[in-house]
Chain A
Amino acid sequence: MRLLKLELHKTLTNKKNLIVLAILLVVYIVMGFSTTYYSYGGTENYNTYTSMVEEHTGTLDEAQGVVSTDAYTEAKNKYGSGEAIDHYKMADPVLKFNADYADFNTAVNDYYEGKEAGKQDIDNLIGIAPLQDKLTELQASGQENSYEYARYEKQLETEKELGAPTFENVSFWDSLFSNWSGMNVLLLLLFPIAYFIAPIFTQEVRTGMDNIVLCSKKGRKEIVTSKIITGVITAVVMSILFVAGTFIGTFAATGNMAGAGFSMRCLASFRTAQYAFTIGQFALVSVLWIVFIAIVFSMVALLISALMSNQAGAFGVSFIVLLVGMATEIFGSGLKKLLWPIVDFSFNSLGKLSSIFGGTTTYNLFGQPISYAMLGVAVATVMLSAFIIFVYAAQKKRIVR
């Protein structure tokens, strides 16, 4: 226990690193606050926006859907799409409301009719009607026992159970999940974790302590256990700081946490989610997921630290591991299909809550459809176990150079 306490002191609870942690917490709070506050254009705009949302909550009002879609289309024609219109949405709460309602209108239409022709992903169909058509087609061709049939049948069943998305005032949660985006997880959580983990083994080399550690009774196995637990605690502490900091910042900007009891499908990025979670439940699942991914990455960084002799090198290689996932985003679709294990299970992908929990992607596991999240848990667990074993093996074979 004392070994663990001292190991933690080296890595986390010393004065220097406590200051770094405090700075990170401030960064998380400021980021949570600023991204939320400015995306609504300040408190007055936020209040106008939420009062408009409150007036239109519930199932789709088709007339309002048409009005909002027309207004938003007109604005896009005038200002341009993408970042250009985002700027105007911040300044104009009415435009933001119309944009969100138009998006909701599209999501409801997609729920029933699927995407417009040409926009539908043929590998991941969505919409009640396209799913029914596909199942009829598979039945007609005698493929009722195929994986594809099982998959779409299950999806159709889930879609019917969950029902069409509804429009609710979930601005706090939308902002919070936007702060927990894949990029933020990658750069503001996993990257700093690499900074903290990199010296865990490399400083033994730098200080010459390897000489003492490796010839001591507990220097080949027990110390690794302490270092692994230290890595895990570091990842958990930093994840909690990240989640808590962004939560505090987002709350400070919105002043409410309304909407926790609504379906997670009310969240803008999770309209096609296949889970019957409320937003509150999903937030808890998301926190656990972020902590889990942080732990898995901490073990990757720990293994890199165990294999290298230089702290800066270990930090750099850990960073490259993170960049590999980001680099896959620029791959063409053919390359993405070929390298799908890397594309789908890099830390860049595993950190994206909207991809893991918000889509309809399934995998064929021995003929059974398995969700992205489930396979993600399995793959990450295997990775975690493998990296832990590798860290033990690396220390067992370690020699002084």
Chain B
Amino acid sequence: MELIISNVMKNYGKKDVLKGVSFKMDNGIYGLLGPNGAGKTTLIRILAGLIPASSGQVLYNGKKCDKEYRAKLGYLPQDLDFYPNFTGRQYLEYVANLKGLSDVEADRKIKELAEQVDLTDDMERRCVNYSGGMKRRLGIAQALLNNPEILILDEPTAGLDPYERIKFRNIISVFSKDRAVLLSTHIVSDVDSVAKKIIMIKDGKVGSMEDGRAYMQRMNGKVWECSIAPDKLMGFQKNHVISNAVPNGDMIDIRVLSNSRPHEKAVNLEPNLEDAYLYEFNYKEAMA
């Protein structure tokens, strides 16, 4: 399986939302990270065939995306509500039909997925009455109904509690063994440990696409910790990117991203992906 995104551009009038995005995906999880307005959702919608690109192309196994591609696609949008008169089961039956599953196959898959997302006991309830987390889990289930070769998830863990998030991550990890998963999120820890590659998108362009460790290695020597007085925090923040601040007695322990030692008592720390994300999208800008 190979999905090639080649120089995809999208503009709305004079506003360029995507300015030539190119990357390639095969099996595994790809994390899509970027600030609000970076063009993540637009890119995802183009990949899902919901909007056309202004130029460039998306090729699935060397061919243009058509009905065959749609049959192998699973998609969870960022905002999803449900039909007011449907139960969870009816909703999944409806989507299964849209995806071309036979009734027998649909029933089997619905039972299996309902168990996986812990909704077995709620399948006969109207899904508009579900909690936010349950709705999200139902959304995840619908995306997996057709055993998609390409799974696109836009903010899939929004509204899930920590246990549900971990469970979701495990499902997706197992699932991605022989499939491609594109996971767009603001929650860096969602992709931190599972993503094969992280795609950082900014201002409508792919900034970089590497695995998480490569991003973290690049951060070696740029993550610092020091303690400062609370009244100096605001002033310090003006000149530095602070990734964390924890009160410690009369002082505040801060985690700082900086190319050089930001404070005479600052010590180097092991970087994580969140540091890399902040560095990519905040530090470079702040230092520019």
Using a CB–CB cutoff of 8 Å, the interface residues on chain A facing chain B are 2-3, 6, 9-10, 14-16, 203, 206-220, 222-223, 399-400
**Please, which residues of chain A bring their CB within 8 A of the CB of B81?**
206-209
**B51/A400 in contact, CB under 8 A:** yes
**Contact at A399–B77, with CB atoms within 8 Å?**
no
Q: Quick one: which of B55-92 are within 8 Å of A by CB?
A: 67, 70-71, 73, 75, 77, 79-83, 85-86, 90
Contact of B98 among A9, A203, A217 (CB under 8 A): A217
Q: How far is the CA of A218 from the CA of B67 in the complex (A)?
A: 8
Assess the B103–A212 pair: CB atoms within 8 A: no
Chain A to chain B contacts (Cβ below 8 Å), 21 pairs: A2-B97, A3-B98, A9-B85, A10-B83, A14-B85, A203-B83, A207-B81, A208-B79, A211-B48, A212-B75, A212-B77, A215-B50, A216-B95, A216-B98, A216-B99, A217-B67, A217-B99, A219-B70, A220-B67, A223-B98, A400-B51
Q: Which of A6, A208, A210, A222 contacts B93 (CB 8 A)?
A: A6
A222 neighbours in B (Cβ, 8 Å): 98
The CA-CA distance from A207 to B77 in the complex, in Å, is 11
Chain A contact residues: helix, strand, loop or mixed = helix
Q: Do the beta carbons of B50 and A218 come within 8 Å of each other?
A: no
- Whether, in the assembled complex, B49 has its beta carbon less than 8 Å from a beta carbon of chain A, the answer is yes
Contacts A217-B70, A219-B70, A400-B45 given; indicate if A6 touches B82 (C-beta within 8 A).
Answer: no
Assess the B83–A209 pair: CB atoms within 8 A: yes
User: What 3 A-B pairs come out closest when comparing CB atoms?
Assistant: A14-B85, A211-B77, A216-B98
Known: A9-B85, A209-B80, A399-B50. A215 touches B97 (CB 8 A): no
User: In whole angstroms, what is the CA distance A59 to B194 when docked?
Assistant: 93
Are B49 and A214 within 8 A (Cβ)? yes
Residues of A within 8 A of B97 (CB): 2-3, 6, 218
Q: How far is the CA of A212 from the CA of B141 in the complex (A)?
A: 12
> B157 in the interface, Cβ–Cβ < 8 Å?
no
Q: Interface size (B, Cβ < 8 Å)?
A: 31
B185 interface residue, CB < 8 Å from A?
Answer: no
Instruction: Determine which of B71, B80, B99 lies in contact with A211 in the assembled complex, contact meaning CB atoms within 8 Å.
Output: B80
What distance in Å separates the Cβ of B140 from its nearest Cβ neighbour in chain A? 12
Residue of B nearest to A223 (CB): B98
CB of B35 within 8 A of chain A?
no
Cα(A218)–Cα(B85), bound, Å: 22
Docked CA distance A6–B93 (Å): 8
Confirm or deny: B184 has a beta carbon within 8 angstroms of a beta carbon on chain A. Answer: no
In the complex, chain B residues whose CB is within 8 Å of the CB of A210: 50
**Roughly how many angstroms separate A220 CA and B81 CA in the complex, as a whole number?**
20
Q: How many Å lie between the Cα of A213 and that of B100 in the bound state?
A: 12
Residue B52 CB within 8 A of the other chain: yes
Q: Assess the B94–A208 pair: CB atoms within 8 A.
A: no
Beta-carbon contact of B70 and A208 below 8 Å:
no
Instruction: Give CA–CA (A211, B81) in the complex, Å.
Output: 11
Q: How far is the CA of A210 from the CA of B86 in the complex (A)?
A: 16
Interface presence of B258 (CB below 8 A): no
Asked if B142 CB lies within 8 Å of chain A CBs, one says yes
